[in-house]
Amino acid sequence: MATAPPEWQLIRASRLLDGTGAPPVERPTVVVRRGIIHGVYAGDAFRADWPAAAPVLEYPGHTLLPGLIDCHVHLTLPGDGTPFETTVREPDGTLVALAMRNAQTALAAGITTLRDCGSMRDTSLELRRAQRLGYAVLPRLFLCRCPMTVTGGHCWYFGGEADGPEGVRRMVRRLVRAGVDYIKIMASGGGTVGTISSRPSYTVEELRAAVDEAHRMNRRVGVHCTCAAATRNAVAAGADHIEHALFLTEDTGHQRYEPDVADAVARAAAVTSTLCVGDFIVQALRDKPGAGPEERAAVERWRRMNDGNLDNTRRMRAAGVRYVAGTDAGWRYTPFDGLVRELELLAASGARPVEAIAAATSGAAAAMGLEGEIGTLREGFAADIIAVPGDPSADLGVLRRPSMVMLGGTVVARH
Ligand SMILES: [Zn+2]
């Protein structure tokens, strides 16, 4: 358990990236007071207005950055290849324990905020209750409880089935009453057995009713879309955020890019990338001992799929779409400390390293409506800070080895 930090703390390093894509600050001093950033100063350019005895954390050779934000995780899934249909049969208590382990894994890796995109029933809210009671030190949790889905739709096991404009309005009200931070909706099928990824599930009318009710209650809406028609519906309904934004066609494993969809999304919503999911699947299946022809065929299928996703992301970015970084941790083989892989894939789609970092810091915070609170190292923001050896604007890989993780002014991990 972390102990309360001193009122004033100073952190010094070789450089600082504030998360916005601004030029680095050389020889920075970050002054933290009561968990909030009091000031960020370059070199000796400050007039100290803090106690001389304030403790100083020194990180020579390191870069300071905002704690990272993973915009798409599933806290109650293990990310070890266990079939979804097996995990969802576990008792809720077991799933809360799993969620706690997953959240701690993320925090140790420098991920100080998790946006959960759907967990079993009330388990994510119960985890947050435990966090608030001080039973565990966990990242900030941004929760939707469970995704709203059509009867029998993607992730229906989680408990969010609702149909028809009145039904979805009622579900939004229930979710808000339960304490969610935002609303997640499945607008197409997905990896759930019996659902169809290449077709929309909800009608535009249903989506419009849900978005309208969510906005009335000051909640943003993230919409899972794996085909172009679903994305078109979500944008038409006023969604704030699209998850995946794939272009799957009826021909399984193939995608057909549609420029008008990219243009519509660029004007309306942020997109969570989730590029690493397929990458981790390929890695896991390839490394499996005794892989037969079936596994090899699956690896090839996923490779083609990953190439298609990367290509579509490149084109969407060129069309002006704002990407934020999310891993889909928990799903299939995606680990809770896999966010750096996602940033590397965003870079492979054409983002400069500092743009990839913004997608997991200031950009992610803005997409969640938390701009001004987290995701940037500037005065007034929460002191969620990581120190990594070397320079991540030259090599994103160094983000895998944070020497220090600070959450709200408390050092929660040292490596
Ligand atoms: Zn997901």
Write out pLDDT tens, residues 54-102: 999 999 999 999 999 999 999 999 999 999 999 999 999 999 999 999 9
The C-alpha angle 16, 19, 20, rounded to 5 degrees, equals 115
Residue 253 has pLDDT above 80, yes or no: no
Q: What is the rounded average pLDDT of the residues 245-257?
A: 87
Residue 267: exposure state from Cβ atoms within 10 A (0-12, 13-18, ≥19): exposed
Neighbours of ion ligand 1 (CB under 5 A): 117, 328
Cα(117) to ligand 1 centroid in Å equals 6
Closest C-alpha to 248, from 233, 235, 271, 231? 231
Cα(276) to ligand 1 centroid in Å equals 12
Cα(272) to ligand 1 centroid in Å equals 10
d(CA 216, CA 219): 8
Q: What is the rounded average pLDDT of the residues 27-42?
A: 97
Residues in CB range of 390: below 8 A, 6 or more apart: 61, 62, 63, 398
Q: What is the rounded average pLDDT of the residues 251-268?
A: 91
Cα(289) to ligand 1 centroid in Å equals 28
Task: Please report the pLDDT score of residue 250 as a whole number.
Answer: 87
Contact of 312 with 332, CB cutoff 8 Å:
no
Q: Could you tell me the sign of the dihedral formed by the alpha carbons of 209, 214, 220, 221, in that order?
A: negative
How does the average pLDDT of the chain come out, rounded? Answer: 96
Exposed e or buried b per residue across 45-60, where buried means at least 16 C-beta atoms within 10 angstroms of its C-beta: eeeeebeeeeeebebe
Instruction: Identify the H or E element spanning 260.
Output: helix 259-268
Cα(336) to ligand 1 centroid in Å equals 13
Strands 270-272 and 322-324: parallel
**CA 65 vs CA 152, 237, 351, 393: distances in Å:** 42, 36, 18, 11
Contact of 243 with 197, CB cutoff 8 Å:
no
Cα(331) to ligand 1 centroid in Å equals 7
In the structure encoding, which two tokens stand for residue 209, read together?
């009713």
Q: What is the DSSP string of 97-121?
A: HHHHHHHHHHHHTTEEEEEE---ST
pTM confidence score? 0.97
Cα(154) to ligand 1 centroid in Å equals 10
**Strand order in 182-186's β-sheet?**
182-186, 220-225, 241-244, 270-272, 322-324
Task: Please report the pLDDT score of residue 292 as a whole number.
Answer: 85
**What stretches of 83-203 show up as alpha helix (H) in DSSP?**
84-87, 92-108, 123-132, 164-178
Residue 153 has pLDDT above 60, yes or no: yes
Model pLDDT for residues 269-325, shown as the tens digit of each residue: 999 999 999 999 999 998 888 878 888 898 999 999 999 999 999 999 999 999 999
Residue 252 has pLDDT above 70, yes or no: no
Task: Please report the pLDDT score of residue 49 as a whole number.
Answer: 87
Task: Please report the pLDDT score of residue 347 as a whole number.
Answer: 98
Cα(245) to ligand 1 centroid in Å equals 12
Cα(119) to ligand 1 centroid in Å equals 10
Residue 45 has pLDDT above 90, yes or no: no
| Domains in the chain with CATH codes | 8-66+376-414 (2.30.40.10), 68-367 (3.20.20.140)
Contact of 68 with 324, CB cutoff 8 Å:
no
Residue 339 has pLDDT above 80, yes or no: yes
Cα(192) to ligand 1 centroid in Å equals 11
Cα(74) to ligand 1 centroid in Å equals 6
Cα(372) to ligand 1 centroid in Å equals 26
Bridge partners (DSSP) of residue 138 are: none
Task: Please report the pLDDT score of residue 251 as a whole number.
Answer: 79
Residue 17 has pLDDT above 60, yes or no: yes
